[in-house]
């Protein structure tokens, strides 16, 4: 049991899916990004993914690339991600971090896990680390009781699904399509299959991300997944000028969606 | 007898290498690894590759004694392994033909590639034309400007060239963009990686396809009377260098020297000398040395040479450096350009600016070793693509305001 699985179980008991919001820390400024994460919580996110920006985000599309570049130009540091984690925890949602692995490696996996734990973070999503090369990270995270959230994709084979589910704690991150982050006109039909396969491999909680940007899409995904992960749509709503109201409206739309009220 | 260092299989070389990639790519990397393991021992594949090397690329490439150049290298004997004479003008074709054949074998119809100097892009576009594959090349916007001729070459060959305007607008960003394309289109697309870096199987596979350089040159040297004292090659990601080193790895008396781009000088911070100025980390799918800040953000690199302007290096080189089998020397823009002019003026051979870094290393080494030494230098490419840039460097272009 962990803060993540507790929250996902509560949400399930309410008969709905969780809303998981992603924002890069430092966009458009560190202060505004932390405030924006509070807005996420206030407007209905159950879990917030805090993203320390990385210089070479190979799994991100143009919207998040742009935000990360602005944040890095503004001088954002990994420490700022832990500050944001604290703010999210205080606001009452469960914070997790989504980080490319080199930032974690340079800090040291042990120290990264310790600092995350101290800030009140529950787990880490690792887009460019799979269980194969993630063994050191898994050991460091287990020592601190930090959840390790790995990704499963439409291309994931049965064998790899077992590996991924076995190494994941908290939830399994099912990517809805083959591609990078960004809004899509429709969420791929592969998403449901990935969720079904993850469950068949023993996953207790499976959340779906990539391409979800509207309440209608969220409602569709909520019908078969434990959580709906939204990133680019929130980043875009927040924008270069830190429009908290536009963000709030977008989050409310998605929060209604996961409750089947779109 | 100690174990051979040649043809190390990966995925790890010592503690370097691996597959640090999104899960979405793991199935494709597994498929590629598997297909390559089968192909490399299948005569129908290896014989076709040998045939293409002979009848299309023009292999074996010759070695050329360059005595007038060598006078400036301490009087040592300097020989060039002439990869510049290959079809398309560089060593890149050796790798591309192998990977394009493999693409056909796994039934994919589209290839993508990154390119810095444009040589790998040109080679990929060429193989795609030859083998009827759809071809998309990612190239940093800064590189499309300094290597405009190669952009036109790729387009003439039927490839789509996509300038990448994000980040530092160079090779590293082109690789990021190619990975993004691959994740989205992996069902019908193969990524023809241009250097001996990236996730497994690329470092080992690209090395195997480039190994022909040292297999030939070692035999050619023995025919001439003996192994050289040193083999020198330039290092971007490290494919021509690892290909130039591999067959010599067990010849412990042969020094192996990779020349990295030191740009304005390593001490200025404006350079691409990863093994000299970097430290271990993950970039583009493998663990190796990278140029990065304290937190692990990749630093912008700088080199006059688009093909060496990369803040990473292949993991096998990092391993060879760590066990002391190979040395890695920084060479500045200015030293490389002096060597460029010297070879052109003394021998009538115009090298690529990338390869000129190796020539500068050879001058330094020759002066260190003296006239009894024999130095084999890989001339990885020719300088046609660099004419405009070199003319600007030496102030030989007509003045615009004249
Ligand atoms: C002529 C030439 N030499 C060397 C390189 C550097 O690549 P590598 O280190 O993989 O050989 C390039 C890359 O574009 C090139 O065009």
**Interval B111-148: pLDDT, tens:** 999 999 899 999 999 999 999 999 999 999 999 988 88
C-alpha–C-alpha distance, residues A27 and B26, integer Å = 31
Phi and psi (nearest 5°) for B292? -150, 160
Give pLDDT, residue A187: 81
Mean pLDDT of B195-219: 98
Q: Domain A3-150+227-257 in CATH: superfamily?
A: Aldolase class I (3.20.20.70)
Question: B301 C-alpha vs ligand 1 centroid, how far in Å?
Answer: 15
C-alpha–C-alpha distance, residues B287 and A249, integer Å = 42
Within this chain, do residues B170 and B301 fall inside the same structural domain, yes or no? no
B residues 111..170 contacting A (CB < 8 A): 166-167
Give pLDDT, residue A262: 66
C-alpha–C-alpha distance, residues B287 and B285, integer Å = 7
Within this chain, do residues B241 and B371 fall inside the same structural domain, yes or no? yes
- Whether residue B14 is contained in a domain is answered as no
Question: B281 C-alpha vs ligand 1 centroid, how far in Å?
Answer: 22
- In angstroms, the first-to-last Cα distance of chain A is 32
Give pLDDT, residue A134: 96
Q: Please say which residue of B154, B184, B206 terminates a domain.
A: B206
CA B325-B356-B68 angle, to 5 degrees, is 100
Give pLDDT, residue B117: 87
Within this chain, do residues B286 and B328 fall inside the same structural domain, yes or no? yes
**Residue of A49, A80, A147, A183 with catalytic role:** A49
Mean pLDDT of B351-364: 98
Model pTM greater than 0.90? yes
C-alpha–C-alpha distance, residues A55 and A62, integer Å = 13
B238 lines ligand 1 (CB under 6 A): yes
B312 lines ligand 1 (CB under 6 A): no
Tens digits of per-residue pLDDT, A168-213?
999 999 999 888 888 888 887 899 999 999 999 999 999 999 989 9
**Residue of A60, A115, A220, A253 with catalytic role:** A60
User: If DSSP codes are grouped into helix, strand and coil, which group holds residue B344?
Assistant: helix
Reported as a pLDDT band with limits 50, 70 and 90, residue B401 is low
- State whether residue B390 sits within 8 Å of chain A by CB: no
Within this chain, do residues B186 and B198 fall inside the same structural domain, yes or no? yes
Active site residue A110: no
User: For chain A, how big is the Rg over CA atoms in Å?
Assistant: 16
C-alpha–C-alpha distance, residues B316 and B5, integer Å = 11
B375 lines ligand 1 (CB under 6 A): no
Within this chain, do residues B168 and B302 fall inside the same structural domain, yes or no? no
Question: Ligand 1: which residue has its CA nearest to atom 15?
Answer: B307
Nearest to B258 by CA among B270, B246, B268: B246
Question: Ligand 1: which residue has its CA nearest to atom 12?
Answer: B307
Residue B152 has pLDDT above 70, yes or no: yes
Reported as a pLDDT band with limits 50, 70 and 90, residue B167 is confident
Identify any residues that bridge with B110 across adjacent strands, giving them in sequence order. B134, B189
Helices (H), A60-145: 62-73, 78-91, 101-107, 109-119, 135-144
Per the structure block, which two tokens stand in for A196? 């079904």
Residue B1 has pLDDT above 70, yes or no: no
Nearest to B52 by CA among B155, B123, B152, B153: B123
User: Between B148-156 and B119-131, two packed helices, what is the crossing angle to 10 degrees?
Assistant: 10
B380 lines ligand 1 (CB under 6 A): yes
- Pseudo-torsion of CA B189, B194, B197, B200, nearest 10°? 30
B234 lines ligand 1 (CB under 6 A): yes
Average pLDDT, chain B: 96
Q: Cis bond leading into B35, ω under 30°?
A: no
CATH assignment at residue B277: 3.40.50.1100
What is the DSSP-derived secondary structure letter of residue A18? E
Range of the domain at B110: 20-45+92-206
Interchain CB distance below 8 Å, B183 and A59: yes
For A132-192, what is the HEC assignment?
CCCHHHHHHHHHHCCEEECEECCCCCHHHHHHHHHHCCCCEEEECCCCCCCCCCCCCCHHH
- Whether residue B371 is contained in a domain is answered as yes
Within this chain, do residues B286 and B333 fall inside the same structural domain, yes or no? yes
- State whether residue B32 sits within 8 Å of chain A by CB: no
Residue B3 CB partners (closer than 8 Å, separation 6+): none
Within this chain, do residues B85 and B96 fall inside the same structural domain, yes or no? no
Q: Is A262 exposed, middle or buried (CB count within 10 Å of its CB: 0-12, 13-18, 19+)?
A: middle
Tens digits of per-residue pLDDT, B220-265?
999 999 999 999 999 999 999 999 999 999 999 999 999 999 999 9
Tens digits of per-residue pLDDT, B43-66?
999 999 999 999 999 999 999 999
| Cβ-based neighbour number of residue B291 at 10 Å | 25
Tens digits of per-residue pLDDT, B290-314?
999 999 999 999 999 999 999 999 9
Per the structure block, which two tokens stand in for A171? 């939830």
- Whether residue B398 is contained in a domain is answered as no
Count how many residues are written for chain A.
262
Q: Please say which residue of B206, B234, B267 terminates a domain.
A: B206
Residue of A78, A150, A178 lying closest to B295 (CB–CB): A78
Phi and psi (nearest 5°) for A91? -75, -10
Question: B233 C-alpha vs ligand 1 centroid, how far in Å?
Answer: 10
Q: Please say which residue of B146, B180, B206 terminates a domain.
A: B206
- Whether residue B328 is contained in a domain is answered as yes
Within this chain, do residues B228 and B187 fall inside the same structural domain, yes or no? no
- State whether residue A152 sits within 8 Å of chain B by CB: yes
Reported as a pLDDT band with limits 50, 70 and 90, residue B399 is confident
Tens digits of per-residue pLDDT, A138-169?
999 999 999 999 999 999 999 999 999 999 99
- Whether residue B179 is contained in a domain is answered as yes
- Spell out the domain ranges in chain A: 3-150+227-257
Give pLDDT, residue B176: 94
Per the structure block, which two tokens stand in for B42? 């299948």
C-alpha–C-alpha distance, residues B382 and B249, integer Å = 26
Tens digits of per-residue pLDDT, B10-33?
999 999 999 999 999 999 999 999
Mean pLDDT of A80-87: 98
Within this chain, do residues B181 and B270 fall inside the same structural domain, yes or no? no
Within this chain, do residues B188 and B222 fall inside the same structural domain, yes or no? no
Within this chain, do residues B224 and B131 fall inside the same structural domain, yes or no? no
- Whether residue B156 is contained in a domain is answered as yes
Mean pLDDT of A15-22: 98
Q: Is A254 exposed, middle or buried (CB count within 10 Å of its CB: 0-12, 13-18, 19+)?
A: buried
Tens digits of per-residue pLDDT, A90-125?
999 999 999 999 999 999 999 999 999 999 999 999
Residue B155 has pLDDT above 90, yes or no: yes
Within this chain, do residues B356 and B224 fall inside the same structural domain, yes or no? yes
Residue A246 has pLDDT above 60, yes or no: yes
| Number of domains chain B contains | 2
Residue owning tokens 């394009």:
B100
């Amino acid at each position: 049991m962990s803060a993540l699985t507790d929250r996902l179980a509560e949400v399930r008991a309410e008969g709905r899916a969780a809303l998981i919001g992603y924002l890069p820390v430092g966009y458009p400024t560190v202060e505004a990004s932390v405030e924006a994460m509070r807005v996420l919580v206030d407007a209905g996110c159950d879990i917030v993914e805090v993203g320390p920006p990385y210089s070479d985000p190979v799994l991100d599309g143009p919207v998040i690339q742009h935000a990360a570049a602005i944040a890095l130009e503004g001088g954002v540091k990994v420490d700022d991600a832990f500050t944001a984690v604290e703010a999210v925890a205080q606001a009452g949602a469960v914070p997790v971090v989504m980080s490319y692995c080199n930032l974690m490696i340079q800090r040291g996996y042990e120290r990264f896990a310790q600092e995350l734990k101290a800030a009140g973070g529950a787990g880490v999503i690792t887009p460019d680390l799979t269980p194969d090369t993630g063994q050191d990270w898994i050991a460091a995270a287990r020592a601190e009781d930090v959840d390790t959230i790995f990704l499963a994709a439409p291309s994931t084979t049965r064998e790899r699904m077992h590996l991924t589910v076995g190494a994941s704690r908290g939830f399994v991150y099912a990517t809805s399509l083959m591609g990078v982050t960004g809004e899509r006109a429709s969420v791929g039909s592969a998403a449901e299959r990935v969720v079904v396969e993850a469950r068949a491999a023993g996953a207790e909680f499976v959340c779906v991300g990539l391409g979800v940007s509207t309440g209608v899409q969220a409602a569709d995904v909520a019908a078969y997944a434990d959580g709906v992960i939204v990133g680019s749509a929130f980043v875009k709503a927040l924008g270069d000028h830190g429009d908290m109201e536009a963000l709030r409206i977008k989050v409310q739309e998605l929060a209604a969606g996961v409750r089947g009220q779109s | 007898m100690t174990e051979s260092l040649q043809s190390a299989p990966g995925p790890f070389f010592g503690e370097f290498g691996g597959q640090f990639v999104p899960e979405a790519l793991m199935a494709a990397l597994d498929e590629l690894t598997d297909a390559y393991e089968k192909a490399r021992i299948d005569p129908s594949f290896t014989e076709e590759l040998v045939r293409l090397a002979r009848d299309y690329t023009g292999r074996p490439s010759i070695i050329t004694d360059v005595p007038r150049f060598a006078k400036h290298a301490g009087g040592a004997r300097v020989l060039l392994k002439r990869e510049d004479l290959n079809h398309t003008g560089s060593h890149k074709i050796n790798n591309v033909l192998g990977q394009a054949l493999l693409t056909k074998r796994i039934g994919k119809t589209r290839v993508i590639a990154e390119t810095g100097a444009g040589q790998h892009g040109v080679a990929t576009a060429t193989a795609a034309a030859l083998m009827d594959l759809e071809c998309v090349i990612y190239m940093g916007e800064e590189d499309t400007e300094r290597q405009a001729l190669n952009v036109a070459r790729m387009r003439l060959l039927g490839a789509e060239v996509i300038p990448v305007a994000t980040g530092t607008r160079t090779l590293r960003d082109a690789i990021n963009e190619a990975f993004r394309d691959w994740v989205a289109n992996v069902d019908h697309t193969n990524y023809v990686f241009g250097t001996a870096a990236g996730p497994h199987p690329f470092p080992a596979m690209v090395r195997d396809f480039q190994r022909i350089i040292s297999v030939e040159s070692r035999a050619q040297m023995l025919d001439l009377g003996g192994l050289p004292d040193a083999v020198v090659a330039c290092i971007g990601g490290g494919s021509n260098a690892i290909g130039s080193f591999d067959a010599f790895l067990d010849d412990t008396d042969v020094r192996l020297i990779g020349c990295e781009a030191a740009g304005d000088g390593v001490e200025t911070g404006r350079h691409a000398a990863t093994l000299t100025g970097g430290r271990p980390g993950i970039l583009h799918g493998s663990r190796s040395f990278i140029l990065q800040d304290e937190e692990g953000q990749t630093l912008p690199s700088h080199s006059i040479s688009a093909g060496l302007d990369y803040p990473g290096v292949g993991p096998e080189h990092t391993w060879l450096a760590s066990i002391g089998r190979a040395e890695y020397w920084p060479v500045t823009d200015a030293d490389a350009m002096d060597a460029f002019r010297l070879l052109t003026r003394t021998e009538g051979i115009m090298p690529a600016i990338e390869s000129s870094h190796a020539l500068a290393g050879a001058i330094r080494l020759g002066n260190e070793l003296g006239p009894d030494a024999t130095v084999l230098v890989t001339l990885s490419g020719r300088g046609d693509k660099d004419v405009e840039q070199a003319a600007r460097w030496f102030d030989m272009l007509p003045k615009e305001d004249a």
